[in-house]
Structure formats: structure tokens, C-alpha cells
Amino acid sequence: MAGAGSCQLDATQMDQALRRMARDIAARVPEAESLVILGIRTRGLPLAERLGFALAEEAARIAPVGALDITLYRDDLTEKAGAPIVRPTEIPFSLKEKTVLLMDDVLYTGRTIRAALDALLDHGRPRKVLLGALVDRGGRELPIQADFAGTTLTVGEGQRVSVRLKEIDGDDGVYFEMKA
């Protein structure tokens, strides 16, 4: 699949983007705030883990990482064929009085984040919720914006942004691809 579209970010650029995000988070979220990171399954989780590692390296700040599955909260669940694949939500810490950074791979319409907020509130009431995305591609349908973005891309009509991660796909990269 790596050759199916034009590469916008390679592995090194993805790492640099996550490190920039980590420095920005450290600068904007006071140390007094108890920060936790929740990766939205599927690709948001490895990015959340990488961001947590970068935060520790770049700012000597530890932020526990958990996983949030939003499958049953999606507004398009009835439009998809077959049974949904539900993966575990793993939040091994309390959300009470925490600043939660939701992390996803691509921010597009905002519908995934709306579902993530619904799922998150079923697991507790955090003090504050922030949003991080590796790629902000614009095109919102809902009034949602990233607090921290690795990169912002202008995406043409009929194109999609595909994020590949070595933990899932065997290699890293952000690609533009034509919609099928």
C-alpha cells in the first residue's frame, strides 16, 4: 500500500512531528495538571504511546497512556455492513481531575472525536479534555479542532489521508491516496 499514494510524511518526519507536539504539550499544559493520554483505537493508540515516550524524552514528563475504543459510539454504525469489531478500552487509571489528551491519527470530519467524547464520559469525568492528531486535514462537519497537531495538510477532492504505522502496518508513513 505504501506505493499506492504520494508520501507526505516519512518515518523520520512523523517522529519529528510527534516530538514537536510533545514540546508544545509540555509548554501549554502546566506540570500541576495531571496529564493522561488516551489513544483512540486503532491507529491513535500507537501514536499515543509514541507521544508519551516523546513527552518523557523531550520534557521529562510522564503521562500514563490508555486505549479508548469508540466502535459502539459511532453515528455510522448502522451504515456499516457486518458485525462491528469491538476492541477493549483499557484505562488503567482514574480520569477524575485529570487532563485527558485524546490522540488520533487523522482529524477530518470530527465525527470520530464526537464518538470518543461520548465513550470517554462513560468512563469518568475528567477535569479537561484536549485533542491531539498526527494529521489535521480539514473538512470538518462538526465544530471540533485539534489542540495539538503534528501537521496540517491540504487534501484535494477525492483524496484521503492514510497513516501507516509500523506497529500495525509494518512501516511508517502518511500518504495521500485516491478514494476507492
Q: Sorting pLDDT into bands at 50, 70 and 90, what band is 2?
A: very low
Predicted pLDDT of residue 172: 96
68 phi and psi, to 5 degrees? -125, 120
Alpha-carbon distance of 65 to 82, in angstroms, equals 31
Q: Residue 104: beta bridge partners?
A: 133
What is the average per-residue pLDDT within 131-140?
95
What are 93-117's pLDDT values in tens digits?
999 999 999 999 999 999 999 999 9
pTM for the whole structure: 0.92
Q: Which CATH topology does 11-75+86-159 take?
A: Rossmann fold (3.40.50)
Q: Sorting pLDDT into bands at 50, 70 and 90, what band is 178?
A: confident
Domain ranges of the chain: 11-75+86-159
* Greater pLDDT, 1 or 9: 9
Predicted pLDDT of residue 180: 66
As given in the structure block, the three cell numbers for residue 88 are 477493549
What are 146-167's pLDDT values in tens digits?
999 999 998 877 889 999 999 9
With 60 as the cut, is the pLDDT of residue 11 above it? Answer: yes
Predicted pLDDT of residue 1: 43
